[in-house]
Chains A and B, each alone.
Chain A
Amino acid sequence: MGLELYLDLMSQPCRAVYIFAKKNDIPFQLRTIDLLKGQHYTDDFAQVNPLRKVPALKDGDFILAESVAILLYLSRKYKVPDHWYPQDLQARARVDEYLSWQHTALRSCCTRAMWQKMMFPKYLEQPVPPEILASTLAELDRCLQMLEDKFLRNQAFLTGSHISVADLVAITELMHPVSAGCKIFESRPKLAAWRQRVEAAVGENLFQEAHAVVLKVKDMPPLMDPTLKEKLKLSVQSLLH
């Protein structure tokens, strides 16, 4: 059995892994785990990742969770072009710095922004107090400012003049609030220009393919199944702050 990637393109880190594998022609078998249908809670999937999260990788007997770990594993195993995760000490440190910072910064506010603006009210029919949404969007704004001021600055890409895994991780995060209708690029020309460069470097077709699922979420009707609705609501309550 070759490489298997357990993904749901609803999830930002899954998109980053998908784009990376496809862009680098890494052969893999896609195993779709539908999060909104609760497929990550099955016993079968728990065998793959006891943490019940996507993305997950299975390479023979070797199972790996955590998108950053998966991206680095794939970079090394498939000996991808250097710019994705440079050998140069300082260039690599900049990528590591971004990959570390984003967990508790951009990722956190992009997930909450998307859920609070769209998923809770429309899909789960649970209203979100306006002050909570306002606070989250303000935090998103501050993160985007840090992304521009500390990471992007006057460079073409986040960590230098070439695209790296940092850009993939960042762009797939930003598409989350975009899918919920947040106009994050409209008032940020520098960020918008960076987005165009990342899309061009990835390839527009692949970029669109990876984002097809999340961009259609706004057209989904409310979740009808009451059991699934309650279960899902319970599992995402922590996103309401």
Chain B
Amino acid sequence: MVLELYLDLLSQPCRAIYIFAKKNGIPFQMHTVELREGEHLSDAFAQVNPMKKVPAMKDDDFTLSESVAILLYLTHKYKVPDHWYPRELQARARVDEYLAWQHTALRRSCLRALWQKMMIPVFLGEQVPSETLTATLAELDVNLQVLEDKFLQDKAFLIGPRISLADLVAVTEVMHPVGGGCPVFEGRPKLAAWYHRVEAAVGKDLFREAHEVILKAKDSPPADLISKQKLMPRVLAMIQ
């Protein structure tokens, strides 16, 4: 049985896994779990991931959730080129440091920015108080600054001269507010230059393929009432 990946490219961590698997020629069966249709809340999907979240991976009987865990599993199992997760102790620690930091920092503000600026109004038809959105965008700004000042600094990629898992996780995050119409690269030439390097290292076609869904998300038809009722509590919990 080939590796199965349960993904919705609307989701940032799913994009990171998609790009990683494709770039490294890892054969997999893609199962799209439509978040906007609430497919992740189905009983069928709960069999795969009782946490009802994407991404999820199934390797024969072995089921795994959490994108960082999945990326590391794929890294070890498929013996990908060293630069993705270097063997060298300190370089590897730098990747781990980024992967740990991002959960409650960049990921959090990118998710909130997308939903509060665009998805909640456009897809769920609700208004978000402007003070809330302002605070979120300010927080996003702070996190982008940390990304530049603490992680990127004057390096080509986040942990050194070559692309690693950290860059994939970061760039897919940053594309979230971009999909929501936030001009994250404006006034940030260093970040923009890094973005172009990551895109080139991944391959423009693959990068575009992985981001098609998020870049079209602003054209999502509004959710029907039933979907909205189903999705709203989880969305609110997600962006808390």
Residues of chain A whose beta carbon lies under 8 Å from any beta carbon of chain B: 50-51, 62, 64-69, 72-73, 76-77, 89-90, 92-93, 96-97, 99-101, 103-104, 108, 146, 149-150, 241
Contact = CB atoms under 8 A, between A and B. Distances in A.
B30 interface: no
Contact of A101 (B66, B77, B94): B66
The B interface, classified by DSSP as helix, strand, loop or mixed, is helix
A66 B73 contact: no
Contacts of A108: 104
Contact of B100 (A62, A66, A77): A66
Interface in B42-101: 50-51, 62, 64-69, 72-73, 76-77, 89-90, 92-94, 96-97, 99-101
B97 A64 contact: yes
Q: What are the 8 closest A-B residue pairs judged by CB atoms, nearest first?
A: A69-B96, A96-B69, A66-B100, A103-B103, A100-B66, A97-B69, A69-B97, A68-B100
Contact of A51 (B89, B93, B94, B150): B150
Contacts of B108: 104
Interface residues of B, number: 30
B90 A93 contact: no
B89 A77 contact: yes
B96 A66 contact: yes
A104 to B, nearest CB: 6
Nearest to B53: A101
Interface of B: 50-51, 62, 64-69, 72-73, 76-77, 89-90, 92-94, 96-97, 99-101, 103-104, 108, 146, 149-150, 240
A73 B96 contact: yes
A101 B94 CA distance: 20
Contact of A150 (B50, B72, B76, B149): B50
Contact of A50 (B73, B93, B104, B149): B149
A1 B65 CA distance: 40
Contacts of B101: 51, 65-66
